[in-house]
Structure 1
Amino acid sequence: MKEQTFWEHINELRKRIIYIILFLVPSFIVCFIFSDYILSIISKPVGDLYFFSPIEAFSVKLKLSFLCSIFISFPFIIYQIWKFIEPALYSNEKKVLIIGFISSLILFYSGSLLSIFIITPLGVKFLMSFSTENLKALIRANEYLNFLLFMTLSFGFLFQIPIIMTILSAFKLINPKFYSKNRKIIIFLIFVASAIITPTVDTFSMLLLAIPLIIIFEIGIITSKIVYKEK
């Protein structure tokens, strides 16, 4: 572990922020160039999207490009954060954090991509099936983008559950037996949380969120048992 002065920390932080900006700017430009293509992919479940003010189409493209650039740059941002805190860590702490960072990224992208390409399209198609000859959808681009962002982040962060469970067990804060004994209660709470989180009120959308969460909860039980060692 290497000690640094206050100003060395500030200079290092400034350097890492500059690296992140230098990576984000070209990522944003590329995403903006391909924004029409990206929009055509994510809007497939609903078809045409509409805007209701002169500036909205441009602002939607800017917003989409920024979000995509963050999504693409996220591993690089995490790496820069890691390089900033690395000198202050012991070797055993570095190993734990490296495994944690990599696992967290894999789970975040797994949850996000699952939401973007499977869960959200299925949910939207189901909801769109209720349209009739006299009841047709006119979906606003900005609102759909917000909906997609909400679902993507929800799945991305909720997929961190196994990491949290494993860390709590690794530090002996929670015995894995607690998860097993209270499985029914936790699954019930997952359904309640899914009903609250899901932007729509239908049962199908709730199940689309709850079922993957139950699966990753079971994965969390397995990994918790692996790292937990009885005294």
Structure 2
Amino acid sequence: MAAPELDGPEDEGLEQGLFSHLIELRSRLMRGIVAVLVVLGALIPFANRLYTLLAEPLVSRLPSGAHLIATEVASPFVTPLKLAFYAALFIAMPVLVYQLWAFVSPGLYRNEKRLARPLLVAALLLFYLGCAFAYFLVLPAAFRFLTAVTPQGVEMMTDISHYLDFVMLMFFAFGLCFEVPVAVVILAAIGVVNLEQLRAGRRYAVVGAFTIAAFITPPDITSMIMLAIPMCLLYELGVLAVRWLIKPEGVEAT
């Protein structure tokens, strides 16, 4: 009969290593939460002004006499606070990404770090770019279309909470759609696709871009085209990034 296994120095070392990682994870999470709370505290006094700025693409295109409304008693107070929280997450995102990177980077190889750093920076910048694209270009075009097709005798008065939810959903959707180059590079890095397959799949990428755009954007052709074309261009950017960053198998660094 085999003797029972006893806890040895290796088991104790594993437990201590796991415990230290949990402590570091808690520390990183707390730093990220503190960063969000600090930004939130700074934004709360300007919550109403932030909402006015967010509502401008719709309000400036409403017919004369139309305006946003609040259908719930607490909406005029709660909705600007929700927006301030979303804005705090948006502004503090670089800190959150850095804390994530600082936690996982010690376990990566040097070549993985070399690839992960530019990908993280690019992902953050592309998400911001997608949100800005939605706010400055897509939302004005969409609201111009929606106000133009409002039936005669119907007044367009949108609830402030529903408007906030709609705009945040658009920001998130466009931010994710602008991550196409990062997704392409990751797929190539893990071996799912190679450069030749990416080049051969351009037609499928175009069809996929227009399909996604039709599903995400408001029901007007202008908004769909305004999302689909940038996604196609970003796919090409991802192909170029794969060519620059990902070496074919069997090719050694000189």
Q: What is the TM-score when the length of structure 2 is the normalising length?
A: 0.83
Give the aligned residue type for 2:100: I
Q: Percent identity?
A: 28
CA distance in 2, matches of 1:124, 1:193: 20
- Within the candidate set 209, 217, 235, 1:217 is matched to 235
May I ask how many residue pairs the two structures share in their alignment? Answer: 228
Give the aligned residue type for 2:110: S
Give the aligned residue type for 2:240: I
Unmatched tracts of structure 1, length 5 or more: none
Query: Do the aligned partners of 1:169 and 1:227 also contact (CA within 8 Å) in 2?
Result: no
Unmatched tracts of structure 2, length 5 or more: 1-13, 60-66
Query: Do the aligned partners of 1:109 and 1:156 also contact (CA within 8 Å) in 2?
Result: yes
Matches within 5 A, 1:1-231: 5-47=17-59, 48-131=67-150, 134-198=153-217, 200-230=218-248, 231=250
Tell me which residue corresponds to 2:8. none
Query: Do the aligned partners of 1:51 and 1:57 also contact (CA within 8 Å) in 2?
Result: yes
CA distance in 2, matches of 1:95, 1:171: 15
Distance 1:227 1:85, change over 3 A: closer
Worse-superposed segment, 78-87 or 120-129 = 120-129
Give the aligned residue type for 1:223: A
Give the aligned residue type for 1:208: M
**Which protein is bigger by CA-based radius of gyration?**
2
Give the aligned residue type for 1:214: C
Query: Do the aligned partners of 1:115 and 1:151 also contact (CA within 8 Å) in 2?
Result: yes
Residue 150 of structure 1 deviates from its aligned partner by: 1.0
CA distance in 2, matches of 1:107, 1:53: 36
Give the aligned residue type for 1:62: L
Give the aligned residue type for 1:7: F
What is the alpha-carbon root mean square deviation over aligned residues? 1.9
Q: What is the TM-score when the length of structure 1 is the normalising length?
A: 0.90
Residue 169 of structure 1 deviates from its aligned partner by: 2.2
CA distance in 2, matches of 1:84, 1:188: 38
CA distance in 2, matches of 1:59, 1:174: 46
Query: Do the aligned partners of 2:39 and 2:88 also contact (CA within 8 Å) in 1?
Result: yes
Give the aligned residue type for 2:207: F
Aligned-partner SS, 1:38:
helix
Residue 98 of structure 1 deviates from its aligned partner by: 1.3
Residue 101 of structure 1 deviates from its aligned partner by: 0.8
